[in-house]
Amino acid sequence: MAKLVIPTPLRQYADKKDSVDVEASNVGEALEKLTSQYSDLRKHLFTDEGKLRSFVNVYMNDEDIRYLDREATKVGGGDVITIVPSIAGGGNHVT
Amino acid sequence: MSPNVAGGVAAAPPVLSNDEILRYSRHLIMPEVGMEGQVKLKKASVLMIGTGGLGAPLGLYLAAAGVGRIGIVDFDVVDMTNLQRQVIHGTKDIGRPKLDSAAERMTDINPYVQIDKYEVRLTSENALGILKDYDVVVDGTDNFPTRYLVNDACVLLGKPNAYGSIFRFEGQATVFGHDDGPCYRCLYPEPPPPGLVPSCAEGGVLGILPALVGSIQATETVKLILGKGATLSGRLILYDALNMKFRELKLRKNPDCPVCGPNRTIHELIDYEAFCGIPQAEPELAPGLSEWEIGPVELKEKLDRGENVYILDVREPHEFEICSIPDSHLIPLGDLPKRVNELDTAADIVAHCKSGMRSAKAVNFLKTAGFSKVKNLKGGILAWSDQVDPTVPKY
């Protein structure tokens, strides 16, 4: 069982959960399970073609999966998969 | 001719006055700073982009630490909603340029600091000219176009960028572009399309969060100047205030990075609004209202005439608790698709939110779902407060 950490901006699409436990053999499968459980998350993580969006980074423990085997990166028990989206806030302007 | 250099004598290095030695004594007695480090701070220059949530602690601490010259870029005016987190400004400053208010406070903390004020929006035209005279750049802006602009300008000029960003309870911090380390584009090659990621204005932010993230940026800035310790270059700190957790992720230099990679394609600043998918100019708003809009006064008149109007509030429940229009029905925008069957396609529906953006999306959704008599309340509940019922609080 691996832990998938959901960042604040995406929690609204995942029943307000900050993490979920998933049983998966690789990162792609873990994300697939996550987005089938929370379908609203899908469009925030994947393009219409099913590719991970370029402003969403996924980390396996402390390493970016782009520098591992991307979605094929193996997942084992106790691993932590973290979704790190781009946030721009500086707490400055109010519109 | 300056008498100080007459006769070929080199200008003396800046020396701290007795007042400054006393002021910085807690630094001077630490071997990691000492007299050498404090003189480095005095000779250093830092450019802060923005004096908002992140810029507030940055400005206060960089001034207190004795950074010799601090540039500030901001063109905003202090308003009431800033004061929950932008502690460099006070209630008395509401309506003043943030630049003046911040500079005054920083000078009060430390009169030995020179403040350069730039009351401009940072653009592709002026960025290089402003950034080039500073040793370190600190990015405390609040939007993607400026984030990419600051990154690219720093990479092109070879300046380190102490980066921080915040959202609700979560912060990110790192140092980009230091000693050929990774840059912002190595982390995120492209920005999200407009509207997909909510801003702080839409999503909110814990007032204390920028204090911590801005202080990390200030710490990194001071370390970069001192040349001491291990900077955050190559590491991304994630801070979750709600669960009080810090995590550290590895940041790598992307060999395909378009601005700092070996085969870079970006050699000069580009159009960042276009890059981030933001239209060049706001589309001209037609005077008056479109057929899908209704003004607050017109809605009030309809209600006063006893017309049967279903007022649909698409905000979140916690916003509804702050204020609401009488007899309105709450269905948050995100729940609308699964609750659309609660609505009558033949009914007169007026959708509203805070300022009219989310309810415009709701109206578009309902139109495609076959609702023909649905309108958007122009300006949202803020306009309702302005034009119909001033007892409704604005937030």
Interface check for B168 against chain A (CB to CB < 8 A): the answer is yes
**Closest chain A residue by Cα to residue B170:** A8
Is the confidence at residue B2, as pLDDT, over 60? no
Question: Is the Cβ pair B54, A64 closer than 8 Å?
Answer: no
Q: Quick one: pLDDT band at residue A65, thresholds 50, 70, 90?
A: very high
Q: Among all residues of chain B, which has the CA nearest to that of A84? A: B238
Which residues from A are below 8 Å from B188, CB to CB? 54-55, 57, 86
Distance CA B296, CA B303 (A): 11
CA B44 to CA B67: how far, in whole Å?
6
Residues of A with CB under 8 A from a CB of B: 7-9, 12-13, 18, 40, 44, 53-55, 57, 59, 62-64, 66-67, 82, 84-95
How buried is B1 (Cβ within 10 angstroms: 0-12 exposed, 13-18 middle, 19+ buried)?
exposed
Q: Quick one: which of A20, A81, A13 has its CA closest to B337? A: A13
Two tokens, residue B79: 């308003």
Give the type of residue at B28.
L
pLDDT band at B334 (very low <50, low <70, confident <90, very high): confident
- Tens of pLDDT along B15-72? 899 999 999 999 999 999 999 999 999 999 999 999 999 999 999 999 999 999 999 9
Active-site position among B154, B186, B200, B260 = B200
Distance CA A34, CA A52 (A): 13
* Ramachandran area for residue A91 (φ above 0: left; ψ -120 to 50: alpha; else beta): left
Give the residue-averaged pLDDT of B169-186: 95
Q: How far is A66 from chain B (nearest CA, A)?
A: 9
Tokens of A22: 């998933």
The amino acid at residue A22 is V
Interface test with B, best of A12, A17, A87 (most B CBs within 10 A): A87
Q: Between residues 247 and 266 of chain B, which touch chain A (CB distance below 8 Å)?
A: 247-252, 254
Q: How far apart are CA B83 and CA B86, in angstroms?
A: 5
B contact residues 32-61, partner A, Cβ 8 Å cutoff: 50-55
Residue B248 reports pLDDT greater than 90: yes
Give the model's pLDDT for residue B289.
73
In the annotation, is B257 catalytic? no
Compute the distance between CA of residue B204 and CA of residue A27 in angstroms, rounded to an integer: 31
Which residues in chain A touch residue B172, judged by CB atoms under 8 angstroms apart? 84, 87
- Residues B379, B353: contact at Cβ < 8 Å? no
b (16+ CB within 10 A) / e for B141-174: bbbbbbbbbbbbbbbbeebbbbbbbbbbbbbbbb
Largest Cα–Cα separation, chain A = 45
Nearest alpha carbon to residue B109 among B153, B166, B56, B47 = B56
Tell me what pLDDT residue B200 has. 60
Cα separation, B89 vs B79, whole angstroms? 9
**pLDDT band at residue B282, thresholds of 50, 70 and 90?**
very low
In the chain, the amino acid numbered B304 is D
pLDDT more than 70, % of chain B = 92
Cβ-nearest to B165 among A64, A67, A89: A89
B200 is catalytic: yes
pLDDT computed for residue B1 by the predictor? 40
**Minimum-distance CB partner of A90 among B53, B198, B250:** B53
Which has the higher per-residue pLDDT, B334 or B146?
Answer: B146
Q: Please answer yes or no on whether B249 and A92 come within 8 Å at the CB atom.
A: no
B244 at A interface, C-beta within 8 A: no
User: Inter-chain contact B82–A94, Cβ cutoff 8 Å?
Assistant: yes
B197: Cβ contacts below 8 Å, ≥ 6 apart: A9, A55, A85, A86, A87, A88
Question: Are the CB atoms for B235 and B250 separated by under 8 Å?
Answer: yes
Assess contact for B35 and B10: CB atoms under 8 A: no
Query: Chain B window 329-348: which residues touch A at a Cβ cutoff of 8 Å?
Result: 334
List, in sequence order, every beta strand (DSSP E) within B36-183: 45-49, 69-73, 114-118, 136-139, 161-167, 170-176
Is residue B206 within 8 Å of B169, Cβ to Cβ? yes
pLDDT attached to residue B6: 45
Q: Which sign does the torsion angle of CA B42, B44, B50, B52 carry?
A: negative
Q: Which of B154, B276, B323, B353 is catalytic?
A: B353
Q: Sorting pLDDT into bands at 50, 70 and 90, what band is B3?
A: very low
pLDDT, position A93: 39
pLDDT at A5 over 80: yes
* A86 to B192: CB separation less than 8 angstroms, yes or no: yes
CA B374 from centroid of its chain's CA atoms: 35
pLDDT score at B230: 97
- Per mean pLDDT, which range of B41-50, B62-71, B123-132, B367-376 is the poorest? B367-376
Mean of all residue pLDDT scores within chain A: 89
Say how far apart CA B187 and CA B176 lie, in whole Å.
10
More reliable by pLDDT, B92 or B167: B92
Q: Does B240 touch chain A (CB under 8 A)?
A: yes
